[in-house]
């Protein structure tokens, strides 16, 4: 039962002087009501990005650093004057980029800087477009608003958790369900937002977002969906190096589970694809081989010396131009990894589990079960 999301009507306040964060991110709106142009420097956005915002800085990193140093030494007026001087050669090009973004957007546009002050104010003056305003309180206010909304949603809405052995396809199932679930059930992919598979071998070459960027994306996703039920994986407190907010992790640990089952062969095939074949498609074989060895050695205490040596020996055997791309070549070390590490870890967690099981079965059976509930 495929459901087409409904986009909430865009509310444009009469006073376009400053736009409130609640108007930019309408609860249940499915998407931001405004196109955001973030005029902060790239280094600031890297630390705390706002989801969906365009990064068109008024000052680059070097210019920002120079203006900041001037502010501390000589005060605000001197800093503003220096900023105008430094940006003068680039002003026309930067304004043209803002104008192009505003003209091509189907949504109204707002500028945002850190606190909604000088930089976004100057940007609106330079652009000279009455249709474009700025966010009251800037990105700091938007983050505060979204994080408060996330905590409120987690406290008052139902959560259901997909659990199962490593390699059973929990993320894959979550994505399939996202296409068929009713609009009031959100399939929340924490690993996707964290850009990490949530395991010792779960990293991606492009790396993870900063902690605040992850939290902002998480909060915006939940806030814009405003779900009755949130469905997500049984994640640990950390997904790679980013941390799931404590109140959400606590809710996950107390929520009922849906247990996904898969055969050992299916799990092996999925692990080999995700850990070996997929990374090699985006990197060199020696690089992937080296990273696998590093990750295996990190598990030395859990695997034990003998099992680790067996894994490394099997990995050495598979490290051949022809054998590398044959799943059967990787079966020996992946089988040890599953039985000796992942499965033991999961089984210990199951023994301590007190949460009720709503349903258990294969991916197809779980999808059919959800369809029967609606």
Task: Give pLDDT, residue 267.
Answer: 94
Tokens of 161: 């958790």
Task: Give pLDDT, residue 346.
Answer: 84
Asked whether residue 317 carries a pLDDT value surpassing 50, the answer given is: yes
% of the chain beyond a pLDDT of 90: 79
Task: Give pLDDT, residue 107.
Answer: 95
Selected residue with higher pLDDT from 374 and 272 = 272
Question: ∠138-142-145 over CA atoms, to 5°?
Answer: 140
Asked whether residue 9 carries a pLDDT value surpassing 60, the answer given is: no
Give yes or no: 113 in active site.
yes
Asked whether residue 3 carries a pLDDT value surpassing 50, the answer given is: no
Q: Which has the closest alpha carbon to 253: 154, 152, 366? A: 154
Tokens of 166: 């490593």
**192 within 8 A of 171, measured Cβ to Cβ:** yes
Other CB atoms within 10 A of residue 173 CB: 23
**50 within 8 A of 112, measured Cβ to Cβ:** yes
**187 within 8 A of 181, measured Cβ to Cβ:** yes
Domains and CATH numbers, the chain: 18-144 (3.40.250.10), 157-374 (3.40.50)
φ/ψ of 242, rounded to 5, equals: -95, 145
Task: Name the one residue in this structure whose structure tokens are 């590490």.
Answer: 341
Asked whether residue 14 carries a pLDDT value surpassing 60, the answer given is: no
**56 within 8 A of 37, measured Cβ to Cβ:** yes
The mean pLDDT of 79-106, rounded to a whole number, is 94
Question: For 261-306, how does the pLDDT look when each residue is reduced to its tens digit (9 = 90+)?
Answer: 999 999 999 999 999 999 898 889 999 999 999 999 988 988 889 9
| Marked catalytic residue, from 70, 113, 168, 311 | 113
φ/ψ of 54, rounded to 5, equals: -85, 135
DSSP state letter for 324: G
pLDDT tier for residue 116 given thresholds of 50, 70 and 90: confident
Asked whether residue 212 carries a pLDDT value surpassing 60, the answer given is: yes
pLDDT tier for residue 353 given thresholds of 50, 70 and 90: confident
Q: Which has the closest alpha carbon to 366: 197, 202, 187, 217? A: 187
Alpha helices in the chain (DSSP H): 21-24, 42-47, 61-74, 76-87, 91-104, 118-127, 138-156, 170-178, 190-194, 211-225, 246-254, 264-272, 278-282, 285-298, 300-303, 305-318, 327-337, 343-352, 363-373
Selected residue with higher pLDDT from 283 and 202 = 283
**248 within 8 A of 177, measured Cβ to Cβ:** no
DSSP letters for 11-54: P--S--SEE-HHHHS-TT-SS-SSEEEE-S-HHHHHHSPPTT-E
Q: What is the mean pLDDT of the chain?
A: 91
């Amino acid at each position: 039962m495929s459901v087409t999301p409904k986009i909430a009507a865009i509310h444009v306040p009469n006073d376009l002087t400053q736009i409130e964060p609640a108007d930019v991110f309408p609860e249940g709106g499915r998407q931001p009501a405004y196109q955001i142009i973030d005029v902060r420097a790239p280094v600031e956005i890297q630390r705390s990005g706002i989801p969906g915002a365009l990064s068109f800085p008024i000052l680059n990193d070097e210019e920002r650093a120079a203006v900041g140093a001037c502010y501390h030494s000589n005060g605000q007026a001197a800093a503003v004057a220096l900023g105008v001087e430094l940006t003068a050669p680039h002003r026309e090009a930067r304004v043209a980029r803002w104008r192009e973004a505003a003209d091509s957007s189907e949504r109204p546009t707002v500028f945002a800087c850190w606190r909604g002050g000088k930089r976004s104010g100057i940007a609106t003056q330079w652009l000279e477009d009455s249709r474009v305003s700025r966010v009251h309180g800037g990105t700091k206010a938007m983050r505060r608003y979204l994080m408060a909304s996330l905590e409120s949603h987690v406290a008052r809405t139902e959560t259901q958790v997909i659990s199962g052995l490593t390699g059973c396809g929990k993320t894959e199932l979550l994505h399939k369900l996202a296409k068929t679930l009713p609009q009031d059930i959100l399939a929340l992919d924490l690993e996707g937002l964290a850009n990490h598979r949530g395991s010792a071998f779960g990293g991606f070459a492009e790396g993870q977002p900063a902690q605040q960027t992850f939290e902002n994306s998480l909060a915006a996703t939940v806030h814009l969906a405003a779900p009755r039920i949130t469905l997500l994986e049984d994640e640990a407190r950390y997904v790679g190096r980013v941390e799931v907010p404590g109140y959400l992790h606590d809710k996950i640990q107390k929520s009922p589970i849906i247990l996904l089952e898969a055969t050992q062969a299916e799990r092996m095939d999925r692990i080999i694809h995700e850990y070996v074949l997929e990374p090699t498609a985006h990197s060199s074989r020696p690089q992937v081989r080296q990273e696998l060895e590093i990750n295996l050695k990190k598990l030395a205490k859990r695997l034990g010396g003998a099992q680790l040596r067996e894994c490394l020996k099997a990995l050495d055997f598979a490290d051949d131009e022809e054998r590398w791309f044959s799943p059967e070549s990787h079966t020996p070390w992946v089988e040890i990894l599953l039985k000796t590490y992942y499965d033991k870890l999961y089984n210990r967690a199951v023994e301590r589990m007190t949460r009720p099981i709503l349903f258990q079965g294969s991916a197809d059976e779980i999808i059919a079960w959800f369809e029967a509930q609606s």
